[in-house]
């Protein structure tokens, strides 16, 4: 994930909108149509905003102990079906 581990800091992913755009770009580059998004650990910071903004592009979502999700309200979690 950009900005984590040994990767350099990335301004693009500093905001939730930037993380949505990044993940959308990755999925488009891979040619994926309606993938199942598996989200372990720190990827929760990328997956949850994507799920809320573009969840209709996914066939499924599998959270595996995602972190970085405390910024979301209960109402936003209820939007996830």
Instruction: Report how many domains make up the chain.
Output: 1
In a domain, 71, yes or no: yes
d(CA 43, CA 32): 18
In a domain, 5, yes or no: no
Distance CA 68, CA 53 (A): 17
Q: Is residue 30 part of a domain?
A: yes
Does the residue 57 lie in any domain?
yes
6 in a domain, yes or no? no
Q: Which of 31, 26, 28 is nearest to 10 (CA)?
A: 26
What are the two backbone dihedrals, phi and then psi, of residue 39, each rounded to the nearest 5 degrees? -125, 90
Task: For residues 7 and 1, give the distance between their C-alpha atoms in angstroms, rounded to a whole number.
Answer: 8
Residue 73 structural domain: 11-79
pLDDT in tens, the chain (81 residues): 887 788 887 888 889 899 999 999 999 999 999 999 999 988 888 899 999 999 999 999 998 988 877 888 888 888 876
């Amino acid at each position: 994930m950009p900005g984590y581990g040994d990767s350099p800091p990335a301004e693009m992913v500093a905001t939730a909108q930037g993380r949505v755009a990044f993940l959308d770009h990755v999925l488009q580059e891979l040619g994926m149509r309606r993938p199942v998004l598996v989200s372990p650990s720190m990827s929760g910071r990328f997956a949850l905003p994507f799920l809320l903004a573009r969840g209709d592009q996914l066939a499924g979502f599998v959270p595996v102990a995602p972190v970085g999700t405390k910024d979301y309200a209960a109402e936003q979690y209820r939007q996830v079906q």
